[in-house]
Amino acid sequence: MASNDKDWLDRLIKSPLYAKLNRIEKMLKNLNGDVGAAVYRDDKDQEYECEGVLTERKPNELGPIPFVVFKFGDFVIKLLDSKFKLPQVQIMPAASLPKNDYVKNAYRNSIYYDKDRGVLYVRDKRLDNVGDYAVMIVHCMAHLLIGDFTDDSNPLVVKNFYKMMAVCNQDVFHQRTLNVEPKSLVSPDMKEKFVKDPEKFASDLLNSTIKQRVRK
C-alpha cells in the first residue's frame, strides 16, 4: 500500500464516522439470539430518561442546524419507503417523552412511537449530529416495519436494519459521495480512464472523497 493511501486510511479509521460504524457492528454481533447478553445502549441515549409526559416542539422553533438535521430524517424515511413500503409515519421533535416499554431498544430514551397517530417523536437533543440521527432513524424504521419497538434482538429487526443501512449507503455512494449519477460511470470518458488504469481510476475517485470527508 502506498504511503499516501495508508495515511488516508489511518485518518479514516480514526474518524468519528468509523467509530460509530464500529459500535453498530458490535451491536449487531450481540444480536445473535443470546438472550442473556447485555442489551446494547446507544451512548448518548444513556444520558436521558423518559420524563413520562410528551412535550411536542414545532420544527421551525428548533434553530437552523437542528432543523436541517430534522428534515434530513424526512429524506431518509422517503428513501427507505421507496424500497420497503413503510407504514405511514411522521417525525416530530419533542422536548420530553412518555414512558415506554422499549426495554431492549438501543434508543429507548430518545424516541416514542404513537401508533394511533402514526407519529414518531424524537428527542430534540438528538438533532445535534446528523450521522447519529440518521442511524437512529434507520433503526426506528427497522422496528416500524414489523410494528414492534421493544426488542432489538428480533431477527426481523436485525434483517431490516442491515438492508436499510445498505440502501442508505448505496444512496450516499451514488448521490453524495461520488457526486455523479451511476450512468455517468459508464460514459465513454469514464470507460477510457477505467480501461487505461483500473486501479488509478478507482483510487482517484474514492481518495478524493475520503479527503473531503476527513477534512470535515
pLDDT in tens, the chain (216 residues): 555 555 555 555 555 555 666 666 666 555 554 444 567 889 999 999 999 999 999 988 888 888 888 988 998 999 999 999 999 999 999 999 999 999 999 999 999 999 999 999 999 999 999 889 999 999 999 999 999 999 999 999 999 999 999 988 877 665 544 554 445 555 677 667 767 876 676 566 555 544 444 444
pTM of the model: 0.70
* Burial (Cβ within 10 Å: 0-12, 13-18, ≥19) of residue 196: exposed
Quote the pLDDT of residue 35. Answer: 44
Q: Give domain limits for the chain.
A: 3-177
